[in-house]
Each structure stands twice: as structure tokens, then as C-alpha cells.
Amino acid sequence: MSIKVAVALSNALFSEGIKKLLDGSDEIRVTEIVRPGASPARANESSRPDVLVLDFATLYGTFGEEAPPQQMKLVLIDTGCGDENIISAVISKGVKGVVSASSAPSALKKAIRAAASGEVWLDKLDIKSLLAGLHTIRKRKRPALSDREWEVVSLVGQGLRNREIAEKLCISEPTVKTHLQRIFHKLDIRNRPQLITFAIRYSNELPEAGAAG
């Protein structure tokens, strides 16, 4: 029985290229190419693929705040999105496979087979980066953030955008941005995916949003 695969990359030409790479395999069959900007969740409803191959832009841009369905096994094509972003994708989005864009087609097929069987497959360099990143996160002591800043961190970790955080906390969007700037400075991080990774690490210690005055 062949593994059904949907391809959802932010570049339609690349999606077609991935399809051609996989079409020669007897055990892997591309059942759908999701056009850029369309929701990959619809592919799960229509063609019911075993594995969804996608890139970072599709993972965070198209899915938005919604988490991928649990039954949807994701293989991420790493186009140089950065170690911290990969860690965030694996932890917060449940990515089962990570393959570098420079890898051989055989690596992608291995990742698809592993993901379809419920295993995790990462390029060797990605494994090293992932473990190093997780180790760094675990070593960090709980930083001194204000109650409101912890609330913002919690909502970012849930996937909310600035406008939604502002509505949730009954504050202005510029105030949210100010909080984020202070949080980034205090935590010594540079971007939102890193903050998502941090939020997951401290998920058990985060306050309920709206609790602060």
C-alpha cells in the first residue's frame, strides 16, 4: 500500500519539482499539490494524505494560529529558516520530519516513510542543532518578567498575533509591541519563533491570560 503525500510549498514551481522527485517511487504517491496560500488542512479533508510536505512559510503563514490536525504528519523542507525556527516547528507544530533543501531525494523519501509510520526523522545536522537548542532552553533559569509580560508570552505561545493579544488583554496593539520589545530584551531573543519555543518550555508556569491587572 502506497503512502499518500500532499505537497504544500510557498512556491508552486518547487511543489511541482517535489512531486516529480517522488513520482518515480512505487511506495510514495503524491495525491495533491496545495496551491500557495490555500489551507493545507483542506488537503487532509479531501485527499486524506498520510504525510504533508511543506516549508516554513506554509507552516506558519497558511496554518496561522490553528494547530495542524493531530492525524496530519508533517515533513518540513528546511530552506534555511534557522535552528531556532526548526526547534519551534518540531516542538509547537508537531513536525515529524525535517529535510534540508540541499539533501538528496532519498533523504526526503526516508523522512516521508518515517513520518508515515509515526516516527521522527531529522537530517543529522538538524538533530544536533535540535538537541543543542533544547539543552540551551532547559538550562535557562526562570527570568524576571512582570505578570503582564508572562501573559503576553503565554498568548504568543498559543499562536495569537499582536492584534488578538491586544483584544484578549484589553490593551492597545502598540502596548503589546512595547511588551514584546521588553520581553525580547530581557530574554535575549530575536524573533517570535524563539519566543514560542520559550513559552513551550515554561508552559506549566505561565499564568492564565487576563489574570494580571
pLDDT confidence bin for 213, thresholds 50/70/90: very low
Higher pLDDT, 136 or 72: 72
Domain boundary among 115, 136, 157: 136
Alpha-carbon span 95 to 108, nearest angstrom: 14
Evaluate if residue 126 carries a pLDDT over 50: yes
Shared domain for 99 and 164, answered yes or no, is: no
pLDDT at 176: 95
Q: What is the pLDDT of residue 3?
A: 92
Looking up residue 93, the CATH number of its domain turns out to be: 3.40.50.2300
**pLDDT(91) > 80:** no
Q: Whole-model pTM?
A: 0.62
Query: Would the pLDDT of 104 be above 80?
Result: yes
Domain that holds residue 103: 3-136
pLDDT tens, 23-49? 877 789 998 888 887 776 666 666 788
pLDDT reported for residue 116: 92
Residues 6+ apart with CB under 8 A from 195: 153, 156, 157, 180, 183, 184, 187, 189
Residues 45 and 97 in one domain: yes
**Does 130 have pLDDT greater than 80?**
no
